[in-house]
Chain A
Amino acid sequence: MSGDSLVSVRNLHRRYGRLHAVKGVSFELRRGEVLGLLGPNGAGKTTTMQMICGALAPTSGEILIDGNDLLSAPRQTKGKIGYLPERPPLYGELSVDEYLLYCARLRHVARSRAAAAVAHAKSLCGLEQTGARLIANLSKGYQQRVGVAQAIVHTPAVVVLDEPTVGLDPIQIREIRNLIGALRDDHAVILSTHILPEVQTVCDRVQILNEGRIVLDERLDALDRASTALRVAFRRPPGNEVLEGLPQVTAVEPVEGGRLRLEHESGAELADALAERSAAGDWGLYEMIPERHGLEEIFVSLTCGEVEPVATPNAVTTQE
């Protein structure tokens, strides 16, 4: 679902003295997109998110939120962002209702609408029953939910969540993921996480940050499409047309050593079918190796120094 551009980041730099933490990060995000930000620790994810939310001033660069310049008009722009930092900014001595009301009023939600906004945020986060409870008395999962609630109570255009599911049990993790799914309709969401499967289930787009630079910026479905293939070797190979005719095989190409590389649709389980057909047709299948460029592999290869350009030309244009 593509909508208007809600986040436009251009050439963002951040230096801490001699440490160049963020080096020229640029990207755009539209309404309805959920962006997953990955990267090893110290890559600059939190710094980038803090700059986008206005908690940290960039050394240079431009940030536009829904058309407003964050750096020259912070008061108008910050109201359009909701931010959940790694440690939720909760006041333990306040009750959930008091806290969310404060957060709403802090972001200039009109007094007349504040109560309704709080109720709506609570219902989205499953906090209806905990309104009167003190935040300090809530479990970690519920505190995290309150953290998410404060990020959305003023219905911002952009929601930025820094590791929202860390420390939660599997049920709570699933609930947060559902919540993010519910948010995507009207907002743009930026999510930072270490949990790769989370990116795959929740996000549309993934960015990998390494040493302050974006090394991958790609839509997840494009990544999946480009990365599944099977390397096979037959003693008595049938013709390529036969192999291409197999269900879910999209292309066949010969590679070194007399092997064949079968590209197939993402998620296809070719192994069994291929083995059966090979046995039936006496093709003499003696080698079958899945070529998996899973997200983890891409992550490791990109962040450990070897730059493997798995990204298609799509990635380059989105950075401009």
Chain B
Amino acid sequence: MLTIAGRELRSLFLSPLAWSVLAVVQLILAYVFLIQIESFLQWQPRLPSIPNAPGLTALVVAPLFKTAGAVLMMVVPLLTMRLVSEEIRSGTFSLLLTAPRTMTEIVAGKFTAIVIFLCFTIALILIMPLLLLLGGTLDFGLLAACVVGLFFLLASFAAAGLYMSTLTAQPTVAAVSTFGLLLLLWVLDWAGAAGDADASGLFAYLSLATHANAMLRGVFDTRDLVYYVLFILSFLTLAVKRLDAMRLQG
């Protein structure tokens, strides 16, 4: 599995796509970061007088990670679209199909590669809040919750993207459908808020937004963790089943 992950990661880094993604994301988030710092500086004089006021971390770092989640929701599909679609399109998938490897190993290898790449992304984003230490103090608990929350959120995006990639031989179709799926799952809780109480509970649970927001507030709830793990495992299992079906149907 590590062999497959290694090659996938190497191909990712050899492609201009990955580097441009990292650069663009960094640029956008840096801009957002600066805006948040600006707004914090405007609020700063008034904060001591407000009871239970949010601190530096909550005002600057949490919005940063929230924006990162939104931006990466658009960007992760572009990274995952190639994972299987490109291999099918260029004929290299037969290399994996005829190798003495199970579909589970293949899916796990590809997922690991993408997750490692996303860890790089998170590390790059993390540099910015850490720079705040130069001038102020950080709530490391909240920061940790944000990082973990973002990590699981991105891993979920990646799992969904990987599954969508197995469904088509056109990488662009995979990207578009992944984005559509993620958007749908994100806004699912809007429907819940508008509708009646019973349905809204289910929609709220299914929505990615609910769990992401919880983490961003610093609430590390194992229920959110379980949700993410189930989400990821479901999509990875679907991907394995889909690859098996491809071998059977031809």
Contact = CB atoms under 8 A, between A and B. Distances in A.
A150 B102 contact: no
Nearest to B105: A75
B99 to A, nearest CB: 5
A89 B100 contact: no
Nearest to A99: B7
A108 B249 CA distance: 27
A89 B93 CA distance: 7
B26 to A, nearest CB: 23
Interface in B94-148: 94-102
Contacts of A87: 90-91
Given A78-B100, A91-B92, A106-B4, A55 B15 contact: no
Interface string A108-132: 1000000000000000000000000
Interface string A137-178: 000000000000010000000000000000000000000000
A77 to B, nearest CB: 7
Nearest to B15: A93
Contact of B248 (A57, A75, A77, A93): A57
A42 interface: no
A311 interface: no
Contacts of B91: 85, 87-89
Contact of B99 (A16, A57, A76, A107): A107
Given A85-B91, A106-B4, A54 B11 contact: no
A210 B11 CA distance: 41
B247 interface: yes
A14 B7 CA distance: 33
Contacts of A262: none
A115 B84 CA distance: 28
A246 B101 CA distance: 62
A87 B92 CA distance: 8
B248 A85 contact: no
Interface in A51-73: 53-57
A83 B92 contact: no
Given A55-B247, A102-B7, A75 B100 contact: yes
Interface of B: 3-4, 6-7, 10-11, 14-15, 90-102, 247-250
- Give the 10 A-B CB pairs with smallest separation, nearest first: A78-B100, A89-B95, A87-B91, A89-B92, A79-B100, A55-B97, A93-B14, A105-B3, A53-B98, A57-B248
16 contacts: A14-B250, A16-B250, A53-B98, A55-B97, A74-B100, A78-B99, A81-B98, A83-B94, A87-B90, A89-B90, A89-B91, A89-B95, A93-B14, A93-B15, A94-B14, A106-B4
